[in-house]
């Protein structure tokens, strides 16, 4: 099927890259290469998915790689990057944003417009599409989750078919959504204006949030941010990990941060295997001591894939 896939792919505008390195495309700086990598514009995404499906080539979409752990052997089949899908424009009291746009740019644009309500996204890595799929936020309060800003999203399903869906149809939860469970890709979204304020004051609040993150979080090493969801009950995951005596625990070059125990740092040449081993060790220790099973936020690729 590879020859048929390559023949069909050659008819599309965007070229393929073979054995393309993926580690530099992730915040952990970990992982092997993509068998094939493509960076199409938004209009071509459904075409690539249909070609992959019809030729039985596995596929997935990679955004800014801030919440994924790519296997050391790399990824089979086709990896579609959202690197070219970064459009953002104002339409009255809405912002239409493509899924690959960085959250940092969205925060800046909202501040320049004098729109309040986007400040909580300051410092969160990743893309708009990935943030909607994961319902990114800084707390369980609705106003500090991206679903609060969402009016509707254009999603692509596993067949390459497009449709606009409401926030209710996305069924957002704590770092999850129907899009994550069903394998939908967010190609673009319309976000609302929660309120208005002085751009200077909004920028001041953003700077304060960024400074607070720098004090609390180990940003000096590659990481994926929080590895585990906070379990029900209000107690943060990091407190279980710290009380289990795992702050500073290390497997190879993968280390639990001593500053924020829910972060695993790449201390140099950490491998995906080392990170997975450390994650399993944390889950086992916390379960044994507290009877709590910590659930991952980060996605393992290709292990967590449901298939094309």
- pLDDT, tens digit, for every residue of 98-126? 999 999 999 999 999 999 999 999 999 99
State the Cα–Cα distance between residues 69 and 27, nearest whole angstrom.
Answer: 9
User: Is 106 in the same domain as 182?
Assistant: yes
State the Cα–Cα distance between residues 103 and 252, nearest whole angstrom.
Answer: 32
Give me the CATH number covering residue 276. Answer: 3.90.78.10
User: Is there a contact between 32 and 96 (Cβ–Cβ < 8 Å)?
Assistant: no
Give me the CATH number covering residue 115. Answer: 3.30.465.10
Q: Identify the domain containing residue 68 by its residue range.
A: 2-81
User: What confidence score (pLDDT) does residue 1 get?
Assistant: 67
> Which CA distances in Å does 129 have to 63, 85, 123, 185?
8, 10, 16, 7
- pLDDT, tens digit, for every residue of 15-30? 999 999 999 999 999 9
User: Is there a contact between 109 and 126 (Cβ–Cβ < 8 Å)?
Assistant: no
Closest CA to 93 of 201, 202, 194: 194
Whether the pLDDT of residue 183 is over 50: the answer is yes
User: What confidence score (pLDDT) does residue 306 get?
Assistant: 63
Whether the pLDDT of residue 139 is over 90: the answer is no
User: Is 137 in the same domain as 192?
Assistant: yes
Number of domains comprising the chain: 3
Q: Which residues are catalytic?
A: 175, 226, 297
User: Is 136 in the same domain as 103?
Assistant: yes
State the Cα–Cα distance between residues 78 and 56, nearest whole angstrom.
Answer: 11
User: Is there a contact between 103 and 110 (Cβ–Cβ < 8 Å)?
Assistant: no
Residue 307: inside a domain? no
- pLDDT, tens digit, for every residue of 271-292? 999 999 999 999 999 999 999 9
Residue 248: inside a domain? yes
Give me the CATH number covering residue 17. Answer: 3.30.43.10
User: Is 93 in the same domain as 180?
Assistant: yes
Rg (CA), the chain: 20
User: Is 97 in the same domain as 159?
Assistant: yes
Report residue 308's pLDDT band, with 50, 70 and 90 as the boundaries: very low
């Amino acid at each position: 099927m590879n020859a048929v896939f390559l023949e069909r792919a050659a008819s599309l505008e965007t070229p393929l890259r073979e054995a393309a390195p993926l580690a530099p495309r992730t915040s952990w700086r970990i992982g092997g290469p993509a068998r094939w990598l493509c960076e199409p514009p938004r209009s071509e995404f459904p075409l690539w998915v249909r070609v992959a499906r019809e030729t039985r080539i596995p596929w997935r979409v990679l955004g800014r790689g801030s919440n994924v752990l790519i296997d050391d052997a790399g990824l089979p089949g086709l990896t579609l990057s959202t690197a070219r899908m970064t459009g953002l424009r104002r339409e009255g009291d809405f912002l239409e944003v493509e899924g690959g746009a960085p959250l940092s740019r969205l925060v800046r644009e909202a501040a320049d417009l004098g729109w309040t309500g986007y400040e909580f996204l300051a410092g969160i890595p990743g893309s708009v599409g990935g943030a909607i799929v994961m319902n990114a936020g800084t707390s369980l309060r609705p106003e500090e989750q991206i679903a609060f800003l969402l009016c509707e999203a254009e999603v692509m399903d596993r067949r390459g078919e497009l449709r606009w869906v409401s926030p209710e149809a996305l069924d957002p939860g704590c770092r999850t959504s129907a899009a994550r469970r069903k394998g939908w890709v967010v190609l673009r979204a319309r976000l609302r204006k929660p309120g208005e304020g002085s751009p200077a004051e909004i920028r001041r609040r953003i700077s304060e949030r960024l400074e607070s993150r720098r004090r609390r979080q180990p940003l000096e090493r590659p990481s994926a941010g929080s590895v585990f969801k906070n379990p029900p009950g209000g107690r943060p995951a990091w407190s279980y990990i710290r009380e289990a005596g795992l702050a500073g625990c290390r497997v190879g070059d993968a280390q639990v941060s001593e500053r924020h125990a829910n972060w695993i740092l790449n201390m140099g040449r950490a491998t995906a295997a080392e990170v997975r081993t450390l994650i399993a060790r944390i889950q086992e220790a916390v379960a044994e001591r507290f009877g709590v099973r910590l659930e991952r936020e980060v996605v393992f690729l290709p292990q967590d894939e449901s298939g094309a």
